Amino acid sequence: MSSSAAKFRLVLSMIIYGTIGLFVRSISLPTSLIANFRGAVGAIFLLLVLYLQKEKLDFKAIRANLKILLPVGIVMGFNWMLLFEAYRYTTVAVATVFYYLAPVVVMLVSPLILKEKLTLRRCIFVLIALVGMVFTSGVIQSGGGGNWDARGVLLASGAAVMYACIVLLTKFTRNIRSYDITIVELGISAIVLLPYNLLTVDFSTVSIDGMGIFMLAILCVVHTGIAYWLYFGSLPHLPAQTSALLSYIDPVVAILLSALLLHEPMDTLCAIGAVLVLGSTVLSEMLPHKKAE
């Protein structure tokens, strides 16, 4: 896959991810149960796609990469659970700000783990994107008050650490299709979350209406099956620092939609922040790169 194609797939997956908070808030199920459905239904959907294409899982490639796929699948399940729970305790904007400290972690750690060169250029663009995201979130305008529930902040921060682990670990996969990566990791995340749900969820109190079922179906198929197929297909073909910077498209979409549809705060500073984020991501890819990078 070419670098341009990988970037397109990553950007598209980020746009899809950016709408996830809107759907999660419309589903009246425990967050761990939502995450469990995501993994199971997303994997089944992609298996169905393979079947319709008359293709099969590449078990040889899966076995060769299992030492990477297994921990990523486990981390993914708990990543979802923590992020969805953060949405319950704070605004989509605040949760997104802390969740997207993950790209900064990826950028700083990649020279140590992946031996990628950490250039001043990339640092500047990532920092501009981070500042823009903070502006867009509205947290400065609120003066640190509002819906800054400590539980939401801690949950989103924990999810950020797990997100960074997923990006870094996936870089070590070799000679395996995005279908195989995604199906296995979604399946593992569903298996990991199942016993947790059986032990902690009171199913006698669980209920969901028709709209909730529709939203859950979209979340499982579009935000999980399709988006993760695009996402994991792009990661092995891009530097981790490029993936980290392009990831900021997700929170901008999330925050803009939360303002438009959920009526969460947005003003001139928010708009400036959105321009900073999108501008830094576009310029980082349009300006010529030095060979040293």
The answer, yes or no, to whether residue 217 has pLDDT greater than 70, is yes
The answer, yes or no, to whether residue 100 has pLDDT greater than 80, is no
The answer, yes or no, to whether residue 11 has pLDDT greater than 60, is yes
Rounded CA separation 194/69 (Å):
18
The answer, yes or no, to whether residue 225 has pLDDT greater than 70, is yes
Residue the block writes with tokens 């400590």: 150
pLDDT at position 83: 82
Residues 16-55: pLDDT tens digits?
Answer: 988 887 888 788 888 889 889 989 999 999 999 999 989 9
Provide the pLDDT confidence category of residue 287 given band limits of 50, 70 and 90. Answer: low
Residue the block writes with tokens 């092995």: 236
Question: Own/partner pairs for 139-146, CB < 8 Å, 24+ apart?
Answer: 139/93, 139/94, 139/97, 140/269, 141/265, 141/267, 141/269, 141/270, 142/265, 146/91, 146/94, 146/265
DSSP 164-183: HHHHHHHTT--S--HHHHHH
Residues 186-214: pLDDT tens digits?
Answer: 999 999 889 888 988 888 889 899 999 99
Residues 146-166: pLDDT tens digits?
Answer: 556 778 888 988 998 998 898
User: Helix 150-170 and helix 66-89: axis angle, to 10°?
Assistant: 160
